[in-house]
């Protein structure tokens, strides 16, 4: 029997509810292959701020680093919105990404046939969408220095950040993206703003350089404003998208909303080595926290990504994905994906139904 | 009789075709009020590069500065895509915006009842959308220094840009946005990434400061990733949006695609004083250039904005807007907005029909 150690980070809002469901599904699906987990549950974000005064306690980062994989619920909430930068829940998440060196954020956006009507896009536009955003996660304007507040040469107050990419940062995310595209439909679209920004011109140059290693992958380039349009006009044109941290933040959220079911979408953040970070795309939804209304499926599917990308346990991962589809086929829906004729359930009950389907 | 001087910048691709139509409509609509125009037609973008070797010749900027208003077609094309930064058509446009100091870019996104089915969004989601993006146009990462290429402390090659805003830049765009919201439905949503970026935290702080001058306008704040989602989930929730240069570039294009008719959308770029710059939202569409297929209505409606915002000639502006609606009601459509049962026309014929409706 195999044993893995998992760090669980329930975080804030609906985080604890969805993590609790995902943990049960993970246990059952893996036990069939004789896999056992040792869990360490530690605080992050607002929960950590309230407990320890910082959004990422040293113990939390240490636990995550020493684990085989990290599963996160969600962070943030109104309560901490006005905190100073270093005391924001978001800063905890950014420090975790940085600490784990998980530079590659994989965000699939898939429209399931069962849920096509949940999209605000017309059926014929949404049907069959299946794309993957590969977002650079530990560089760019999120981490670039110098940053802060100051005064300019005229003595005016200013706020500033630096968008910066080094060759190795672009090269490594490019390789992850080309590998990903190779395993999918073989098409990679790199999104930048190379008609205006030097950081983007350099990005494009390096992407074209790395492309030489992947002659079997079809590479295209698109400006970010056009990409924001094309995702709405015809999302099916995309297979794999690679882009920088801030454009990836915007475009992956846009892509997820196109599916109409952001409560369904998982993500994986991977480094060169060491544990990956798995989390749903959605936020902490403080408005419905503690009400047993959250959709746990994005976190359940993040657990499947954890098994697949983090532990190489593809069979157990597939078991979870199939169980989710089976549960949907049996008609169960949380509020966010409910439509007439289906069975409305809460977070816990959805979890129990998935367990039955495993 | 009143006389105004207009600088015409046809530019590249379909630019000359749509400008020629807009000029005819402008002449007719204004002549009814005894208004006369003196036009100066000068090159910009790729056209200027081919003629003079630079994307914004001094004569072009001078003509624009001395005019009462500037009407632009579009710039850019494959031919110049690989040019170095200072020889890109886009650099000409950025220098023009900078030279005219037009810091406020107004981009309406309206779904006309006649064209609601052109949207890829479901009818009930698209119907009635009527929002205005107020984009900061002469600051932020588009113009911030330092920028360029270099090496970091480890000797790695880098590309970098600076996102920076000074208080006065935020304050003046905030005032334009609050004034705009006041004349619309009184709701302003400021979009930023204040949970991560110092430039955004400073942006939010100044917006809240200026809000004190506009107690009658309802202000909200939204993170840019969420805004990209909300525009698809429920675009009707927005009245006026204010945001920085790069977020505005992305979100205004996204908003325009939601209407399904980007060939219909005008824009105005305004400074504290001096001539404004009026241009369609769409690009130069090199693939259909010279084929009489372009939709000239975005440029015709930009001419209406020129009359309204630039010259204070509201009656003539209204005349153009009404003529466009009448032409649509009479069933005329260019290819981009064509649907069964309507009459397909080319760029020129569309222009002639609008003239009949004036
Ligand atoms: C919470 C925030 C810091 C984060 C980001 O901007 O990366 C989130 O929006 C995301 O996409 O995971
Ligand atoms: C052509 C380009 C420089 C420009 C911009 O990014 O501002 C365009 O996309 C726009 O939105 O007007």
In the stretch 95-134 of chain B, residues with CB closer than 8 A to chain A read 120-122, 125
Task: Quote the pLDDT of residue A185.
Answer: 98
Report, as an integer, the average pLDDT of A64-84. 96
B145–A contact, CB cutoff 8 A: no
Can you give the pLDDT at residue A277? 98
| B143-189 confidence digits (pLDDT tens) | 999 999 999 999 999 999 999 999 999 999 999 999 999 999 999 99
pLDDT at A1: 79
B146 upstream amide cis, omega within 30 of 0: yes
> Which residue's alpha carbon is at the smallest distance from atom 3 of ligand 2?
B90
Q: How far is the CA of B47 from the centre of ligand 2 (A)?
A: 17
Q: Between β-strands A104-110 and B266-270, what pairing exists: parallel, antiparallel or unpaired? A: unpaired
3-class DSSP state of A280: strand
Q: Catalytic positions of A, please?
A: 142, 193, 225, 249, 253
The answer to whether residue A87 neighbours chain B at the CB level (below 8 Å) is no
Under the banding of pLDDT at 50, 70 and 90, the label for residue B198 is very high
Number of helices (H), then strands (E), belonging to chain A: the values are 12, 14
Give burial (CB, 10 Å; 0-12/13-18/19+) of A302: buried
Is a pLDDT exceeding 90 seen at residue B190?
yes
For the segment A233-286, what is each residue's pLDDT rounded down to a tens digit? 999 999 999 999 999 999 999 999 999 888 999 999 999 999 999 999 999 999
pLDDT > 90: percent of chain A: 98
Between A81 and A38, the more confident residue is A38
Helices (H), chain A: 15-31, 45-52, 58-66, 89-100, 123-126, 167-183, 198-211, 224-233, 245-258, 297-305, 314-329, 347-357
Nearest ligand to residue A93 Cα: 1
Count Cβ atoms below 10 Å from residue A260 Cβ, excluding itself. 23
Residues making up chain B, counted from first to last? 358
- For atom 3 of ligand 1, the residue with the nearest CA is A90
Q: What pLDDT, on the 0 to 100 scale, is given for residue B261?
A: 84
- Taking the CB of residue B98, how many other CB atoms lie within 10 A of it? 17
- State the CB neighbour count (10 A cutoff) for residue A98: 17
Q: Please answer whether residues A300 and A353 qualify as being in contact, where contact means their C-beta atoms are separated by less than 8 angstroms.
A: no
- Give A108-139 pLDDT, tens digit per residue: 999 999 999 999 999 999 999 999 999 999 99
- Ligand 2, closest atom to CA B252? 11
pLDDT at A94 over 90: yes
Percent of chain B with pLDDT strictly greater than 90:
98
Q: According to the model, what pLDDT value does residue A261 have?
A: 84
Mean pLDDT of chain A: 97
A189-216 confidence digits (pLDDT tens): 999 999 999 999 999 999 999 999 999 9
The answer, yes or no, to whether any atom of ligand 2 lies below 6 A from the CB of B90, is yes
A193 touches chain B (CB under 8 A): yes
Q: Return the pLDDT at B247.
A: 98
Counting from 1 in the atom list of ligand 2, the atom nearest the Cα of B76 is 1
| Closest-CA residue to A160 (of B146, B352, B133) | B146
Structure tokens at B178: 């609050």
Distance A307 CA to ligand 2 centre (A): 43
Q: Region B294-300: what's the mean pLDDT?
A: 98
Q: At what angle do helices B89-100 and B45-52 cross, to 10 degrees?
A: 110
Total-model pTM: 0.97
Q: Confidence band (pLDDT; 50, 70, 90) for B1?
A: confident
A90: pLDDT strictly greater than 90:
yes
Q: Which residues of A touch B196 (CB under 8 A)?
A: 90, 94, 142
Distance CA A151, CA A154 (A): 8
Contact status, residue A347 vs residue A131, Cβ threshold 8 Å: no
pLDDT per residue over A21-66, tens digit each?
Answer: 999 999 999 999 999 999 999 999 999 999 999 999 999 999 999 9
Q: Ligand 1: which of B201, B225, B228 to mutate, most ligand atoms within 8 Å of CB?
A: B225
Nearest CA in chain B to A282: B226
Which candidate in B160, B227, B249 is best for mutational testing of the A interface (most A CBs within 10 A)?
B160
Ligand 1 atom closest to residue A89's alpha carbon, by position in its atom list = 1
CA-closest candidate to residue A288, choices A251, A334, A254? A334
Q: Tell me the shortest Cα–Cα distance from A149 to chain B, in angstroms.
A: 7
**Dihedral sign of CA atoms A86, A92, A94, A100 in order:** positive
- Which of these, B41, B36, B40, lies nearest to B4 by C-alpha position? B36
B336 — contact with chain A (CB < 8 Å)? no
Maximum C-alpha span of chain A: 68
**pLDDT at residue B257 in the model:** 95
Confidence check: pLDDT of A332 > 90: yes
pLDDT above 90 (res A107): yes
Chain B hits for A121, CB-CB cut-off 8 Å, are 120-122, 232
* Chains A & B: contacts with CB separation below 8 Å: 183
3-state secondary structure of A242: strand
Q: For the packed helices A347-357 and A314-329, what is the interaxial angle rounded to 10 degrees?
A: 120
CA A172 to chain centre: 18
Tell me if A160 and B163 make a contact (CB, 8 A cut-off): yes
- Chain A residue whose CA is closest to B121: A121
- State chain B's maximal CA–CA distance in angstroms: 68
Retrieve residue B328's tokens.
Answer: 């649509």
Q: What is the C-alpha radius of gyration for chain A, rounded to an integer number of angstroms?
A: 20
A236 — phi, psi (to 5°)? -70, -15
Nearest-angstrom CA–CA distance, A146 and A161? 6
The answer to whether residue B22 scores a pLDDT higher than 90 is: yes
| Cβ atoms of residues B60 and B27 within 8 Å | no
Cβ–ligand 2 distance for A229 under 6 Å, the answer no
């Amino acid at each position: 029997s195999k044993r893995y150690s998992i760090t669980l980070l329930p975080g804030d809002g609906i985080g604890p509810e969805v993590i609790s469901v995902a943990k049960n599904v993970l246990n059952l699906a893996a036990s069939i292959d004789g896999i056992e987990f040792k869990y360490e549950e530690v605080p992050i974000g607002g929960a950590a701020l309230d407990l320890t005064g910082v959004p990422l306690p040293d113990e939390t980062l240490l636990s995550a680093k020493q684990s085989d994989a990290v599963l996160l619920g969600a962070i943030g909430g109104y309560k901490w919105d006005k905190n100073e930068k270093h005391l924001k829940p978001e800063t905890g998440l950014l420090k975790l990404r940085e600490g784990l060196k998980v530079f590659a954020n994989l965000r699939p956006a898939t429209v399931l046939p069962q849920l096509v009507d949940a999209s605000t896009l017309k059926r014929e536009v949404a049907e069959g969408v299946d794309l993957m955003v590969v977002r650079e996660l530990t560089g760019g304007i999120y981490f670039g220095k110098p940053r802060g507040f100051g005064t300019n040469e005229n003595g005016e107050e200013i706020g500033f950040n630096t968008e910066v990419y080094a060759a190795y940062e672009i090269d490594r995310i490019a390789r992850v993206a080309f590998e990903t595209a190779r395993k999918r439909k073989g098409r990679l679209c790199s999104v930048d703003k190379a008609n205006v920004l030097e950081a983007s011109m350099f990005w494009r140059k390096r992407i074209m350089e790395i492309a030489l290693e992947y002659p079997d992958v079809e590479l295209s380039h698109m400006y970010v404003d056009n990409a924001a349009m094309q995702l709405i006009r015809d999302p099916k044109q995309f297979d794999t998208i690679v882009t920088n941290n801030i454009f990836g933040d915007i475009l992956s959220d846009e892509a997820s909303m196109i599916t109409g079911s952001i409560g369904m979408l998982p993500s994986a953040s991977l480094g060169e080595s060491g544990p990956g970070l798995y989390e749903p795309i959605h936020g902490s939804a403080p408005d419905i926290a503690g009400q047993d209304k959250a959709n746990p499926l994005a976190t359940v599917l993040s657990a499947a990504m954890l098994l697949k990308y983090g532990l190489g346990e593809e069979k157990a991962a597939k078991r979870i994905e199939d169980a989710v589809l089976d549960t949907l086929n049996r008609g169960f829906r949380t509020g966010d994906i409910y439509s007439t004729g289906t069975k409305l359930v809460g977070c816990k009950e959805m979890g129990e139904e998935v367990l039955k389907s495993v």
